């Protein structure tokens, strides 16, 4: 899918070269807060996809489990999907202002 220009398109880029040369710079340009030396790669996209589908688009978690090809729904919900911080802030959860 992402051919190596050095090899005249005959072989694909390795994942590490794709991440370092294309994905990481594109993510930074899009506004992602990635520090030098901080781990960032293709796996982060799986976590982001899971969060976006469950929290923003409101796709059923069971459907997201299938998309990510997880054997157990607990993997999708406990490891890949996190509580939506925007909704948490709107509800005042974790805020010292809530009594």
- Same domain, yes or no: 93 and 49: yes
Residue-number span of the structural domain to which 78 is assigned: 41-99
Q: Are residues 86 and 97 in the same domain?
A: yes
The residue with greater pLDDT, 19 or 86, is 19
Answer for the pair 22, 2: CB distance below 8 angstroms, yes or no: yes
pLDDT digits (tens, 9 = 90+) for 70-83: 999 999 999 999 88
Q: pLDDT band for position 97 (50/70/90)?
A: very low
Does residue 34 share a domain with residue 49? Answer: no
One domain for residues 51 and 34: no
Total number of domains in the chain: 2
pLDDT in tens, 2-51: 777 777 778 888 888 889 989 999 999 999 888 888 888 889 889 989 99
Phi-psi region of 37 (alpha: psi -120 to 50; beta: other; left: phi over 0): left
């Amino acid at each position: 899918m992402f051919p190596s220009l050095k090899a005249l398109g005959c072989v694909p880029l390795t994942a590490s070269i794709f991440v370092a040369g294309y994905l990481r710079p594109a993510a930074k340009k899009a506004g992602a807060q990635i520090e030098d030396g901080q781990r960032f790669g293709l796996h982060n996209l799986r976590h982001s996809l899971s969060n976006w589908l469950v929290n923003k688009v409101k796709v059923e978690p069971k459907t997201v489990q299938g998309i990510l090809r997880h054997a157990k729904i607990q993997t999708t919900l406990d490891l890949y999907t996190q509580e939506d911080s925007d909704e948490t802030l709107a509800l005042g959860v974790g805020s010292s202002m809530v009594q």
